[in-house]
């Protein structure tokens, strides 16, 4: 596989611009918490010759491919097989207490989307797998076969914001009484037939259900809830973090976590702000930044991205 042809890093130049003040110092360490195929990592290691990069990924196949791509950088690239919410353990295992930069490029990777056999894409027939880590046990097929109608409805609504969650859950339970859903084409056919024509014209009927199943299989939102506070703890004073989100549920979690860390916890009524109540972070961008129109045209996968960034300004005592 020629990796560079299928992986164009999203908002690369803006991420470099935001992280540069923290990682251009000698001995700096940057964590790429969602290594994927290593596109961002390769660019950072090339631009900053004194930088050490720690790459985390739960997908063994992605780690192997990224390892080939980053091999020319030798010991400057340290790769770890783990979920990104295990960032503290990963860093401690490498002998680092804190780092100068953290990059989180959330969601499903280019490779996972492009490999039809992984089952992430509703446009390609494949086994209903959707595991980012192929060594994990739970698959989309098992969810569709074993979850109750109530739980199917819940994940379609909560993780996919699917208006037809109840209808889809009911039809899936009815179908599995006759035959097990094992391939994406079977599920797409079921969802398409269950979607009223007026709604079908508003977008592919399977899009939100596939998103919801992927999130449930990989426990993505639960991991994200954990990783942002742990990433903040891992930043040295003056360290910076950039997070790229691709859907509203992710961005909402990131926004809430950053808001909490950039707000003083001083109790109301105190005449002065005590040091231990001062904000840990300051925001580097207002709200969520979008990709430029030029980047969206050149790299369609950047279209939904929302970028948030912050700098650590206080270390808890």
* Domains of the chain, first to last: 3-111+220-312 (3.40.50.150), 115-218 (1.10.150.170)
3-state secondary structure of 237: strand
38 annotated binding-site participant: yes
Torsion of CA 66, 68, 73, 75, to 10 degrees: 80
39 annotated binding-site participant: yes
Distance CA(285)–CA(287), nearest Å, equals 6
277 annotated binding-site participant: no
- The sign of the dihedral angle between the CA atoms of 196, 199, 205, 210 is negative
Distance CA(120)–CA(251), nearest Å, equals 21
- pLDDT tens-digit map of 100-124: 999 999 977 655 555 656 677 888 8
CA distances from 285 to 184, 255, 289 (A): 39, 12, 7
**What residues contact 304, with CB distance under 8 A and at least 6 apart?**
246, 247
Distance CA(204)–CA(200), nearest Å, equals 6
**What does DSSP say about strands 306-312 and 235-245: parallel, antiparallel, or unpaired?**
antiparallel
- The whole-number pLDDT of residue 5 equals 47
For residue 117, give both structure tokens.
């056999």
pLDDT tens for the chain, 317 residues long, are: 444 445 689 999 999 999 999 999 999 999 999 999 999 999 999 999 999 999 999 999 889 999 999 999 999 999 999 999 999 999 999 999 999 999 999 977 655 555 656 677 888 899 999 998 888 889 999 999 999 999 999 999 999 999 999 999 999 999 999 999 999 999 999 999 999 988 877 788 899 999 999 999 999 999 999 999 999 999 999 999 999 999 899 999 999 999 999 987 656 655 555 566 688 999 999 999 999 999 999 999 899 999 999 999 988 76
Q: Is 42 exposed, middle or buried (0-12, 13-18, 19+ CB in 10 A)?
A: buried
105 annotated binding-site participant: yes
251 annotated binding-site participant: no
CA distances from 218 to 68, 171, 272, 292 (A): 25, 24, 45, 30
84 annotated binding-site participant: yes
- pLDDT tens-digit map of 241-274: 999 999 899 999 999 999 999 987 656 655 555 5
Q: Check: CB of residue 132 under 8 Å from CB of residue 108.
A: yes
Q: What is the pTM of this model?
A: 0.87
247 annotated binding-site participant: no
Distance CA(234)–CA(219), nearest Å, equals 22
Distance CA(129)–CA(146), nearest Å, equals 14
Lateral strand order in the sheet of 306-312: 77-81, 52-57, 29-32, 99-105, 235-245, 306-312, 281-283
Q: Check: CB of residue 146 under 8 Å from CB of residue 139.
A: no
Query: Using N-to-C axis directions, what is the helix angle for 248-261 and 220-234, rounded to 10°?
Result: 30
Distance CA(60)–CA(45), nearest Å, equals 21
Distance CA(34)–CA(23), nearest Å, equals 18
Question: Residue 127 gets which letter from DSSP?
Answer: B
Query: Helical H runs in 12-94?
Result: 12-23, 39-47, 60-70, 87-93
Q: Check: CB of residue 101 under 8 Å from CB of residue 29.
A: yes
**If residue 102 lies in a helix (H) or strand (E), which one and from where to where?**
strand 99-105
């Amino acid at each position: 596989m020629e990796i560079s042809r299928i992986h164009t890093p999203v908002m690369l130049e803006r991420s470099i611009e935001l992280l540069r003040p923290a990682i251009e110092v000698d001995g700096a360490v940057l964590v790429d918490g969602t290594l994927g195929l290593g596109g961002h990592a390769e660019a950072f290691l090339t631009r900053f010759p004194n930088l050490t990069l720690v790459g985390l990924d739960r997908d063994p196949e992605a780690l192997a491919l990224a390892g080939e791509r980053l091999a020319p950088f030798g010991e400057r690239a340290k790769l770890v097989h783990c979920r990104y919410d295990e960032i503290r353990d990963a860093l401690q295992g490498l002998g680092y207490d804190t780092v100068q930069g953290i990059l989180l490029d959330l969601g499903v990777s280019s490779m996972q989307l492009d490999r039809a056999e992984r089952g992430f894409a509703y446009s390609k027939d494949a086994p209903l797998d959707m595991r980012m880590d192929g060594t994990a046990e739970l698959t989309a097929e098992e969810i569709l076969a074993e979850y109750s109608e109530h739980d199917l409805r819940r994940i379609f609504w909560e993780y996919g914001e699917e208006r037809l969650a109840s209808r889809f859950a009911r039809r899936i339970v009815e179908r599995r009484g006759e035959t097990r859903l094992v391939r994406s084409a079977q599920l797409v056919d079921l969802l398409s037939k269950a979607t009223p024509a007026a709604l079908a014209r508003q977008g592919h009927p399977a899009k939100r259900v596939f998103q919801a199943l992927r999130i449930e299989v990989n426990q993505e939102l639960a991991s994200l809830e954990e990783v942002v506070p742990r990433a903040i703890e891992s930043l040295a004073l003056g360290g910076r973090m950039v997070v790229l989100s691709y859907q509203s549920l992710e961005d909402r979690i990131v926004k809430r976590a950053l808001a909490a860390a950039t707000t003083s916890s001083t109790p109301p009524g105190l005449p002065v702000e005590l040091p231990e109540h001062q904000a840990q972070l300051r925001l580097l961008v207002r709200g969520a930044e979008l990709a430029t129109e030029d980047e969206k045209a050149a790299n369609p996968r950047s279209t939904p991205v929302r970028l948030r960034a912050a700098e650590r300004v206080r270390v808890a005592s």
